[in-house]
Structure 1
Amino acid sequence: MSTRSDLGEFLRSRRARVSPREAGLPATTGRRRTSGLRREEVAMLAGVSIEYYTRLEQGKQSNPSRPVLEAVAGVLRLDDDERRHLFGLAGAPVRRAPAAPARPARAEVRAEVRRLLDIVSPHPAQVLSRANDLLAANEQGLALLPGIEEWPARARNTARYTFLHPQGRRVYDNWEEVAAATVAHLRAVAGADPDAPDVTAVIGELVVKSAEFARLWERYDVRSRTNGRKRFNHPSVGRMTLSYEVLEVARSDGHRLVVYQAEPGTPDHDAMLLLRHAGTPRTAGEPA
């Protein structure tokens, strides 16, 4: 659940990331105790008093106005995801009305969406929940995560796989990048729906069981995952780099269809095609 301390931690982490030079401040002589912006510098650039901004960071300023939040977001050079997160923490969401009381997310995947998994084959495809539960996948999509089939269907979660499965660190050649993006995505989801039981459960588990997750969680990075690249060192098909696109599934509780691809005629594409022979688990389409 979000608290005023979450807002303060987020503001402090973003303030430390912006140098005076990046903020357009003149160079100064002497030694600074911090490489980022000071509170008074953020206040000055945002056009508010140092007392006001200090109360904001300390969680003592209730109901900050939208113009103030916009000004602070500009000074801290927040991107769209971080800006939405800031508004959510401050109790001023920018995109939607306050959510209904928290309830468990639906895990059912519509038959039409399951057919899409077969339609896009041989491209690996997965249906993920808002908390990264693996709800469904085609054969290639499940084979892309070797060893995840050893877990019960309800335990299959790509964030859990990344941080806790023995194969998770080995299968991603760019594990650090994938891990950071995974945590930033969960931070964005938690900011938008802080009381969602499925989201808080997986975050709580990973904070306790994975020191790497806990360290990345404290960075307060926020990022919605829409597309990107992953480099795989797959035990069955070798190394390959695949791009992915994330599509929102209509009439669902935040389900996402993730489709991987590679340019035809490349070694990456050839390796991707071999996934169908990588030993597909028997429950490829079983819902979590």
Structure 2
Amino acid sequence: MSGLRREELAPLAGVSVGYYTRLEQGQSPNVSDEVLDSLARVLRLDDDELAHLHRLARVVRARERVRPERLRPGIKLIVDSFTEAPAMAVGRRGDILAWNRLAHALLAPHWEFDGAERPNFVRIDFLEPDFARGLYGDWEQKARDDIAYLEGSLSRFPGDEGLTALVEELLTLSPEFRAMWTEHPVANCASISRDYRHPEVGVMTLTAELLRTPDDEGQGVTVFQAEPGSPSHERLRRLAERVAAAVH
């Protein structure tokens, strides 16, 4: 129901116009789930948009500074345990905190594997467009998923100055990011299937599963997998062989 005025939307959601106005202005940090669900019903939000609304409604809590992001040793061990599937640890800003050699070969072989500078998958996708557009079968969808990832992080970590600075940097340097950011795409980035074009083994359809830890500080492990027995599975196996041969 786009285009509804406050005076029309508030009664449909069962709240006063004044209360709805305070919600819009972030002045009601203790809004109930029932009110949010009612607003979502009136606005016809889908499940991902509803979850995003619940997160945003709580951003107005005290915006404490968050601790610097450091890779947990246990997460590094998890990444290293994968030898036949690309795996990486990702932070709340999109930094690749750790990766195995197969993920490096798939996602950014032009970066140093053990370099001092941490690659950031959002920066790569928007600030290295020639590489990114060649890698992804649908770069625009990948770019929108990146923005949804950042939006989700901002809703959960509003006090992360580095995250805010990253968004401002991308708004300044990337016209594509600037245009897509205004759309506020919302998506569940926990499980996504997409096509990857690898120059050595060809196109692979892989599913990326984002596994978050229970004591979530915004870090998680992403593992890429192909359907067993598929051409993509065979191509991923060949890529793993090439990576292993290059290391040894």
Return the alpha-carbon distance in structure 2 between the equivalents of residues 231 and 92 of structure 1.
Answer: 34
- Change beyond 3 A, Cα 1:175–1:199: same
Return the alpha-carbon distance in structure 1 between the equivalents of residues 18 and 217 of structure 2.
Answer: 41
- Change beyond 3 A, Cα 1:40–1:64: farther
Return the alpha-carbon distance in structure 2 between the equivalents of residues 207 and 278 of structure 1.
Answer: 38
Q: Is the 8 A contact 1:246 1:256 kept in 2?
A: yes
Of 158, 167, 176, the match for 1:212? 176
Q: Aligned-pair RMSD on alpha carbons?
A: 3.0
Q: Is the 8 A contact 1:122 1:273 kept in 2?
A: yes
| Counterpart position of 2:82 | 120
1:254-279 residue CA offsets vs partner (Å, 9 max, x unmatched) = 22111111122211101111223556
Of 107, 111, 134, the match for 1:149? 111
- Is it true that 1:230 corresponds to 2:197 in the alignment? no
Q: Is the 8 A contact 1:123 1:261 kept in 2?
A: yes
- Is it true that 1:257 corresponds to 2:202 in the alignment? no
| Counterpart position of 1:75 | 42
| Counterpart position of 1:47 | 14
Give 1:252 shift: 6.4
Q: Is the 8 A contact 2:29 2:57 kept in 1?
A: yes
SS of residue in 2 equivalent to 1:115: helix
- Is it true that 1:180 corresponds to 2:147 in the alignment? no
Of 101, 126, 147, the match for 2:65? 101
SS of residue in 1 equivalent to 2:224: strand
Of 102, 127, 138, the match for 1:164? 127
Give 1:222 shift: 2.9
Q: Is the 8 A contact 2:86 2:100 kept in 1?
A: yes
SS of residue in 2 equivalent to 1:130: coil
Of Structure 1 and Structure 2, the greater helix share is in: 2
Give 1:160 shift: 1.0
What fraction of aligned residue pairs are identical, expressed as a percent? 37
Q: Which amino acid aligns with 1:65?
A: V
Runs of 5+ unmatched residues, structure 1: 1-14, 17-35, 284-288
Return the alpha-carbon distance in structure 1 between the equivalents of residues 26 and 196 of structure 2.
Answer: 46
- Change beyond 3 A, Cα 1:60–1:224: closer
> Could you tell me the TM-score, scaled by structure 1's length?
0.72
Runs of 5+ unmatched residues, structure 2: none
SS of residue in 1 equivalent to 2:107: coil
Moved more, 253-262 or 42-51: 42-51
Q: Is the 8 A contact 2:136 2:196 kept in 1?
A: yes
| Counterpart position of 1:248 | 212
SS of residue in 2 equivalent to 1:219: coil
SS of residue in 2 equivalent to 1:154: coil
Give 1:247 shift: 0.8
Give 1:174 shift: 1.4
- Change beyond 3 A, Cα 1:158–1:62: same
Moved more, 253-262 or 48-57: 48-57
Give 1:199 shift: 1.6
Of 74, 96, 99, the match for 1:137? 99
Return the alpha-carbon distance in structure 1 between the equivalents of residues 235 and 198 of structure 2.
Answer: 9
1:11-55 residue CA offsets vs partner (Å, 9 max, x unmatched) = xxxx63xxxxxxxxxxxxxxxxxxx44444322321234455456
Return the alpha-carbon distance in structure 1 between the equivalents of residues 43 and 216 of structure 2.
Answer: 34
| Counterpart position of 2:158 | 194
Q: Which amino acid aligns with 2:15?
A: V
Q: Is the 8 A contact 1:134 1:156 kept in 2?
A: yes
> Could you tell me the TM-score, scaled by structure 2's length?
0.83
Structure possessing the higher radius of gyration over alpha carbons: 1
Return the alpha-carbon distance in structure 1 between the equivalents of residues 191 and 54 of structure 2.
Answer: 24
